[in-house]
Amino acid sequence: MTRRLLGSEHAAGWLFVLPAVVLIGVFGIIPIGWALLLSFQHNDLLTAPTWVGAANYRELVHDPVFRDSIRRTIIYTLLFVPISVGGALGVALLLYRPIRLSRFYRTAVFVPVATSTVATGIIFNWLLDPTYGIANFLLGKVGLGPYGFFQDPDQALYAIVAMTVWGWLGFDVIIYLAALQGIPQDLLEAAELDNAGRWGTFRHVILPLLSPATLFLIVWSTINALQVFDEIYVTTRGGPLHATTVLVYYLYNQAFELFHAGYAAAVAEVLFAITLVFSIAQLWIGNRRVHYTS
Amino acid sequence: MRRVLLLAVLAAAVIASGCGGSGSSSSGGKVNIVLWHGYVDVEGKALAAAAKRFNAGHPKIHVTIQNYGNADYALQKVLTAIRGGSYPDIVYLYGSWAANMARTPKAVDVAPLIKSDPSINWNDFWPAERQAVTVGDKIVGVPALVDNLALVYNKKLFDQAGIPHPTADWTWDDLRAAAKKLTDPGAKQFGWAYVADGSEDTVWRFDALLWQAGGDILTPDGKHAAFNSEAGVKAATLLQQMATVDHSVYLDNGNGNYANLFNSGKIGMLFTGPWDLSSFPDVDYGIQILPGDVNHNTISGPDQWVMLDNGDDRRNAAWTFLKWFTSADEAMRWSIATGDLPIRASQTQTPDYPKYTAKYPGIDTFVQNEKNAVKARPVIPTYNEISQAMGQAIQAVLLGKAEPKAALDQAAQQVDQILAQGS
Amino acid sequence: MPLAAVMLLPLAWMLVTSIETLAESRHFPPTIVPSGIHWENYPNALDSAPFGRFFANSLVVTLASVAGNLVFCSLAGYAFARLRFFGRDVIFIVLLATLMVPFQVTMIPTFLIVQHLGLVNSLGALIAPNLVTPFGIFLLRQFFRTLPIDLEEAARIDGCSRLGVLFRVVLPLSMPALATLGIVTFLWTWNDFLWPLIAISSTDQSTVQLGLASFQGAHQTRWTLLMAGNVVALAPMLLVFVFAQRWFVQSIAATGVKG
C-alpha cells in the first residue's frame, strides 16, 4: 500500500510539473545556456565571434568599474529589500482593517506599480530636480537642503532606492493582503482571550503565519533588486560618474553601446552566481524558520 | 547529461536559424523592399507620403515603411533581426553606430555603387555627412539627416538684461560674460545650459569647443588621444569656470529638461540644433553661429540610411529608392515639410529654397553653419568607448569633482589603452 | 492618508498632462493647472495609430498568459508544495534560477527560439514565453503550504484523485493567491515593452505599449498624447484590480482584526 502510494506520488509529481518544466525549459533554460556560451566568446553580435575561453572572466577581475558595480548593486539590494518588504508589511496591516475608503487606498497604493517606468522616471526627474523640483522646495521650507539627488554622485543611488521603493511597495502590499486572508479567525480570537495585546498578537500569531509570504517577498525582491535596470535607464543612465552603474546597467552598456556582448554575458553569469547564492541562502534559512501549516 | 542535451538543442537552434535566411520576394516581377525608421509626427507623415509617391512612380518596386518604435532601441532590434536572419533592406541608424555596422557582412558597402552610378552625385552631400559614413574604404550608408550646433538664444532675456544680441564674432569671453549677466538665482534663471550626463551629448558639445581652440580628438594617425592638449584643457576650463565659479550653467541630466526650461524663459542661451526649434513655441529665439576661439568650428551629427543585403534584386531596388529619396528635389520637399536641414549643398540653389527659409525663421543660419562643420568625430568601432571616457571626464569637471587637466589626462590614458587594444 | 497622496501623484500628473496643450507641456517646472481641458488629446492619441487593434492584441496576449499561468502554476505549485517526488527541490531551484539571468542577455536567444518555432511577428511569440513563470509557481507553492493539510488528506481518503484534490479542495481556498497571480500576470504582460519590440515588426500584431512608444520620437516626445495614451492603457489594469479586490476582501469583515 505504502509502496504503491509512493510510486504514484512520484509519477503524479512529475506529471504536474511537466508543462511548466517544458515551457520554462525551452524559453528559460536554453537561452541561459546560450548566454553561458556567449560569455566565452568575443562577440559583437554583428560579425563572426571568436572563442576566447575564460578571457572575459579574467578581464572582469581587473575591471574597477565592474567591481564597483557589484558593490553598488549589493548596497542597493540591502537597502531596497528590507525597506520595501518591511514597509509593505506595515501598510498591509493598516489596510487590512475595515476602515472607510479602504478600497480606494488599496487601489491608490497599487497605482505606482501599474504606472509605466517611463512615466515614473519623468515624474521623479521633475520631483528631484535640484533647482526646480518640489522635493528641494519642501525641504527648503524646513531648513534642509538643497540636495543634488540624481545629480549628486553621493546621493544618486539612494534617490533610486526611494524611487523604486515607491514603485514597488504596492506589489508587496497586495501579496501580504492575500496572505492575511489566510489567517484563521479563531487564532486571533484566542490571542485576544489570552490578553496578548496588539503587539503580542502581531509577534506571535500574525508574523509567523505571514512568514511564507515574507520569505517569498524577500527572495523575489532580492532577485529583482539585483537586476534593477529600467528605473536607472530612464533617470540617471548609470551616472553621475558611475554612481548608479549597477550590474545590469553595466551589462547593457557593454552589450548594446560598446558591442562587447561576450563580456556582457560574463557579467551576467557573475550576477547569476551572486543571485543564486543569495536565494539559496534565503531559502535554506527560510526552510528552518518559516511556519507553514497550523 | 543535461548539459549535453542542452548543447545539442542549442546547436540545433543555431543551425536552424542559419537556414532561416531571407527569402527573395519578387512576386510577379515586382520587388518588395522594407524600410525601418523611427519617424513620428510630421516626419512620419512626410515619409509615408514620400513612399507613396515613389511606389506610384516606380511600378516595379514596392517599398513598405515600418516604424521600429524609438530610434534609441533600433540597434537592439536590428542586431536581433540580423541574427535571426530576417531584416529589412533599409534602416535608419544613428551616425554613432556606423563604424560597427560596417563590420557586419550584411551591411551593403555603398562605395562600389557610387562609383558605378555617379547619378547620386555623392560629393553634393555635405562633407560632414560623407565623413560620417566612411569607415576606412567602405561607405556604409546614405545620408539621412544632417544637423549642427549653433547658438540659440532668448531675445527677450537679452533685451531685459541690456545685453546686445550675439554676433558672428562672439568669443568665449563674450559667452561667459553674457551667461553671467543672464543668471539670476533669485528668479531661478540660468544664462546657459549644458547636458551633463556623461553621454555623447556631453562630449560632442565639448568637441566643438575643442576644435574651436584648435585641438583634435585623436592624433592624425588615430593611435593616441589628443584631446588633453592645451586646447582641450582650455575648453574644459571654460566649462569648469562657468559651471562651478559663475554658476551660470543649468546642468541637464540627459532628460531634455533644458528644452522645456528654455521654452519657459528660464535659460538664456543654448548650444543646440534645428531639431529642438519646434520645442520653443513660446520663445522669440535668435540663432547665431557658435561663439569661437581660434575659429568658429561647429560639430555635425549626421544619421544615415544603412542598406542591408537581402539579395541582388532587393539591394538594387533599395538603391533606386535611396537615390530618389535623397535627390535634391525630394530632399528639398522633405526639408520644407519637416524643417530638417538640407542634406545636399546644392539644395540652397533650388527654386524652393526660399520657401524653406521663410517657413522656418533663422534656419538659414544653421544651413550656412554647416560650412563650419569642418572636422568630424572618428568613425571607428571603438568610438563609443572613447566617448564614454571623455564623457566621464567632462562630467566630473562640470560637477566640480575634478580639475580639467587631471580629468582629461586620465581619460586620455584610458583612450590610449582602448586604441591599443583595438576592439 | 498622506501615503495615498504620494502614491497617486503620478496619476494626477499624467491626467493633467493629458488634457493640456502641447505648448503647455513644454514647460518646466510643469504646468500644474492647465488653461483648459483639451479632451481632444485623447481621440488624437488613439487615432494616430490603430489603437483599437493594439488593445485587442494586448488583451488576447494578456488573457492567454493569465489563463496559462493560473493553470500551469497551480499544477506545478501544488506539486512542489505537497507532493514528494524525485528531484523536487533541485528542479525548483533550477526553475527559480531562470529568473536570475537578466532579460537583456536572454532576449536574443529567446528570439531565435521563437523564430525556430515559426512564431516570429505573431501573437504566439508574445504568449508562448509567458505561459508559465517561476514567479507564479513560487507564489502558489508558498501559499498552498499554508493551507491546513487535513482537508486534502480527507479528500484523498474519500477516494479523490490528486488532481481532484487540487481543483476541488485547494484552489477554492486559494482565491486571494490566485487573484494576486492573475493581477500580477496581467500587469506584467500588459506593460511588457522590450520583448514585443523585438518579436513584433508589423503594426497588425503590435501591442498597446508599442503603440505608446511611437509618441516618443528620437528628439522629442509628444507628452500630451503619450500621457493620454498611458492613462487609457492604465485603465484596464485598474479595472481588473478593483474587480479582483473582491477576492481580497472576502475575509476582512470575518476576521475583524481589532485594534
Considering only CB atoms, which chain B residues are within 8 Å of C216?
40, 70
Q: Cα separation of A244 and A254, whole Å?
A: 15
Pairwise CB contact (< 8 Å): B254 & A237? yes
Q: Which of B83, B199, B401 sits opposite A241 (nearest CB)?
A: B401
Check if C145 contacts A (Cβ < 8 Å).
Answer: yes
Residue A209 in contact with residue A182, Cβ under 8 Å?
yes
Pairwise CB contact (< 8 Å): B86 & C109? no
Residues paired with residue B31 on neighbouring β-strands, in sequence order: B26, B61
Alpha-helical regions (H) of chain C: 2-18, 22-25, 41-47, 51-82, 88-97, 103-116, 123-127, 134-145, 149-157, 162-164, 171-173, 175-191, 194-199, 208-213, 223-248, 252-255
The pLDDT value recorded for residue A5 is 53
Pairwise CB contact (< 8 Å): B384 & A34? no
Chains with ≥3 Cβ pairs under 8 A against C?
A: A, B
Pairwise CB contact (< 8 Å): B81 & C201? yes
Q: What is the pLDDT of residues C196-242, one digit of tens each?
A: 888 887 778 888 888 777 676 555 667 777 777 777 888 888 888 87
Q: Which of B40, B84, B278 sits opposite C214 (nearest CB)?
A: B40
Q: Which of C6, C7, C128 sits opposite A27 (nearest CB)?
A: C128
Half-sphere exposure of C31 (CA within 13 A, CB side): 23
Considering only CB atoms, which chain B residues are within 8 Å of C214?
40, 67, 69
Q: Which of C8, C72, C143 sits opposite A19 (nearest CB)?
A: C72
Q: Which of B69, B261, B282 sits opposite C197 (nearest CB)?
A: B69
Residue B10: pLDDT band (50, 70, 90) is very low
* C-beta neighbour count of A233 within 10 angstroms: 18
Amino acid type, B316: N
Check if A100 contacts C (Cβ < 8 Å).
Answer: no
Amino acid type, A280: I
Q: Which residues of chain A have pLDDT under 70?
A: 1-7, 98, 100, 192, 195-197, 293-294
Check if A116 contacts C (Cβ < 8 Å).
Answer: yes
Chain C residue with Cα closest to A264: C105
Q: What is the pLDDT of residues B98-144, one digit of tens each?
A: 888 888 889 999 999 999 988 999 999 999 899 999 998 899 999 99
Check if A292 contacts C (Cβ < 8 Å).
Answer: yes
Pairwise CB contact (< 8 Å): A237 & B197? yes
Which site among B255, B257, B263, B388 would you substitute to test the A interface, given the most A Cβ atoms closer than 10 Å to its Cβ? B255
Chains with ≥3 Cβ pairs under 8 A against A?
A: B, C
Q: How far apart are the first and last CA of chain C?
A: 18
- Nearest CA to B128 among B143, B108, B138? B143
Considering only CB atoms, which chain A residues are within 8 Å of C162?
12, 16
Pairwise CB contact (< 8 Å): B253 & A235? yes
Considering only CB atoms, which chain B residues are within 8 Å of C50?
none
The pLDDT value recorded for residue B153 is 95
Percent of chain B residues past pLDDT 90, beyond the cut: 67
The pLDDT value recorded for residue B229 is 95
| Residue B22: pLDDT over 50 | no
CA distances from B294 to A85, B192, B212, B370, C11 (A): 59, 21, 6, 18, 52
Å between A291 CA and nearest CA of chain C:
8
Chain C residue with Cα closest to A281: C93
CA distances from B162 to B88, B155, B178, B290 (A): 55, 10, 10, 21
Å between C259 CA and nearest CA of chain A:
7
Residue C247 in contact with residue C178, Cβ under 8 Å?
yes
Mean pLDDT of chain B, nearest integer: 88
Chain C neighbours among A 224-263 (CB < 8 Å)?
226-227, 229, 248, 251-252, 255-256
Å between C204 CA and nearest CA of chain A:
23
Grid cell 477576492 — which residue? C247
Q: Cα separation of B123 and B275, whole Å?
A: 25
Pairwise CB contact (< 8 Å): C217 & B84? no
Q: Which of B9, B257, B381 sits opposite A259 (nearest CB)?
A: B381
Q: Cα separation of A97 and C254, whole Å?
A: 11
The pLDDT value recorded for residue C220 is 62
Chain A residue with Cα closest to B14: A34
Considering only CB atoms, which chain B residues are within 8 Å of C54?
none
pLDDT in tens, chain C (259 residues): 666 666 776 677 677 777 776 666 666 666 666 677 777 778 877 777 778 888 899 999 999 999 999 999 999 999 999 888 888 889 998 998 888 888 888 887 888 888 888 888 888 889 998 899 999 999 899 888 888 888 888 888 888 888 888 888 888 888 888 888 988 898 888 888 888 888 887 778 888 888 777 676 555 667 777 777 777 888 888 888 877 776 655 533 333 332 2
Q: Cα separation of A130 and C40, whole Å?
A: 34
Residue B75: pLDDT band (50, 70, 90) is confident
Strand arrangement, sheet containing B285-288: B249-252, B190-195, B267-272, B150-154, B285-288
* C-beta neighbour count of B268 within 10 angstroms: 27
- Nearest CA to A274 among A96, A130, A60? A60
Q: What is the pLDDT of residues B220-230, one digit of tens each?
A: 998 999 999 99
Considering only CB atoms, which chain B residues are within 8 Å of C198?
76-77, 80
Q: Cα separation of B310 and B396, whole Å?
A: 46
Residue B16: pLDDT band (50, 70, 90) is very low
The pLDDT value recorded for residue B92 is 93
The pLDDT value recorded for residue C26 is 64
Spell out the SS3 assignment of chain B.
Answer: CHHHHHHHHHHHHHHHHHHHCCCCCEECCEEEEEEEECCCHHHHHHHHHHHHHHHHHCCCEEEEEEECCCHHHHHHHHHHHHHHCCCCCEEEECHHHHHHHCCCCCECCCHHHHHHCHHHCHHHECHHHHHHHEECCEECCEEEECCECEEEEEHHHHHHHCCCCCCCCCEHHHHHHHHHHHCEHHHCEEEEEEECCCCHHHHHHHHHHHHHCCCCCECCCCCCECCCCHHHHHHHHHHHHHHHHCCCEEEECCCCHHHHHHHCCCEEEEEECHHHHHHCCCCCEEEECCCECCCCCCCECCEEEEEECCCHHHHHHHHHHHHHHCCHHHHHHHHHHHCCCCCEHHHHHCCCHHHHHHHCCCHHHHHHHHHHCCCCCCCCCCHHHHHHHHHHHHHHHHCCCCCHHHHHHHHHHHHHHHHHHCC
Its pTM stands at 0.84
Classified as helix, coil or strand, A41 is strand
Chain C neighbours among A 46-85 (CB < 8 Å)?
none
Pairwise CB contact (< 8 Å): A44 & B423? yes
Classified as helix, coil or strand, A42 is strand
Pairwise CB contact (< 8 Å): C179 & A14? no
Å between B137 CA and nearest CA of chain C:
30
Q: Which of A98, A185, A223 sits opposite C99 (nearest CB)?
A: A223
Residue C138 in contact with residue C96, Cβ under 8 Å?
yes
Chain A residue with Cα closest to C259: A198
The pLDDT value recorded for residue B256 is 80
Mean pLDDT of chain C, nearest integer: 80
Q: Cα separation of B218 and A132, whole Å?
A: 39
Residue B43 in contact with residue B338, Cβ under 8 Å?
yes
Considering only CB atoms, which chain B residues are within 8 Å of C27?
260, 263-264
Chain A neighbours among C 174-193 (CB < 8 Å)?
176-177, 179-180, 183-184, 187, 191
Å between C149 CA and nearest CA of chain B:
35
Half-sphere exposure of B314 (CA within 13 A, CB side): 23
Pairwise CB contact (< 8 Å): B401 & A153? yes
